[in-house]
Amino acid sequence: MECRNVVFINGQMCLSVSDLYWSDLVCQFQRSDTLPAEYLQLFYSHREEFKHFTPIFTDGSKQADVVGAAALCCGRTMSETLNGQSSIFSAEIVAIELALKHVFDAGHRQVFIYTDSLSALKVLSVLSDRVDSALRLLVLLQNAGISVCFMWIPSHIGVPGNEAADMAVKAACSVRSDASVFGADLLALLRRQVLGAWQSHWDRETENKLFQIKPKIVCWQSAFVQSRRDEVALCRLRIGHCRLTHVLVSVFLMACMAVVAAYAYISSYSNKCPDSAIATNDLLVYSWNPCN
């Protein structure tokens, strides 16, 4: 599979990365339906076909607030400790960058980089601050006539090089670092802190009627509908901003079947009524003129 991208260095377009190749052989098999032995067989078959390529294994890890990245090639280990606020995804990208730097130092002409992060390979086709350095290295390697290929291999299936890279990255996570943080990781950190402060404030609003409807500040997936009108109606039903809710607490009005139906319908959006289907049909009949 080829990834096409345009890389700029010092404001000049240097290369359309059409030679950025990564094998999707293993990706054709679902991990839930594939035994580790089958993956190993695919890997060794791949290595036999590309035995003239030098293998490099990369891995990233995050343990508590310590993040590390490592690359392993021909018995040599390259590792780096990242800022504790960095994500595991950033660690995988840095591990690939370590592998590319090693290619320069070692003078390899053909290399195959193996990683257990499929998302890291896919993001190489999208320019961002996290992959900018890696793409610049790829440009320099390609200009030097060095072939660099990539392949995803699942973790913990028994590939010796991958297991060794896993051990190396755990060793890199043994110390802390105050290194800089990628912009995307910093934004994610700020988002978590803002949501945490928001949640702490909301947890104190236990007397608010909306707290029972939405106690956790998380994305409400069921609220995403194609029609704006339907989304507004659904929101108003959930929070009680409709014509029917002002009579829900009046016992004498509960004799009206329309109000009973409305109460059951609105309560269903608070996850209190399992029989919402019947109540919905009743509400649609009486909603426009409920007390006639």
Q: Where are the domains of the chain?
A: 22-179, 187-251
Length of the chain: 292
Determine the average pLDDT of the residues in 156-160: 77
- Report the predicted TM-score, pTM, of the whole model to 2 decimal places: 0.67
Give me the mean pLDDT over the 222-243 stretch.
77
Confidence of residue 287 (pLDDT cuts 50, 70, 90): very low
Kindly give the pairing relationship between strand 76-82 and strand 110-115. unpaired
Residue 2: pLDDT over 80: no
State which of 27-41, 223-237, 245-259 shows the largest mean pLDDT: 223-237
Task: Give the distance, in angstroms, between the CA of residue 198 and the centroid of all CA atoms in the same chain.
Answer: 23
pLDDT exceeds 80 at position 23: no
Reply yes or no on domain 22-179 having CATH 3.30.420.10: yes
- Does the pLDDT value for residue 261 go beyond 80? no
pLDDT digits (tens, 9 = 90+) for 92-113: 999 999 999 999 888 888 899 9
Handedness of CA 272, 278, 283, 286 (dihedral sign): negative
Q: How does residue 199 score in pLDDT terms, banded at 50, 70 and 90? A: very high
pLDDT band at 32 (very low <50, low <70, confident <90, very high): low
Measured torsion, CA atoms of residues 104, 108, 112, 114, in degrees rounded to the nearest 10: -50
Distance CA 154, CA 163 (A): 11
Residue range 58-81: average pLDDT? 86
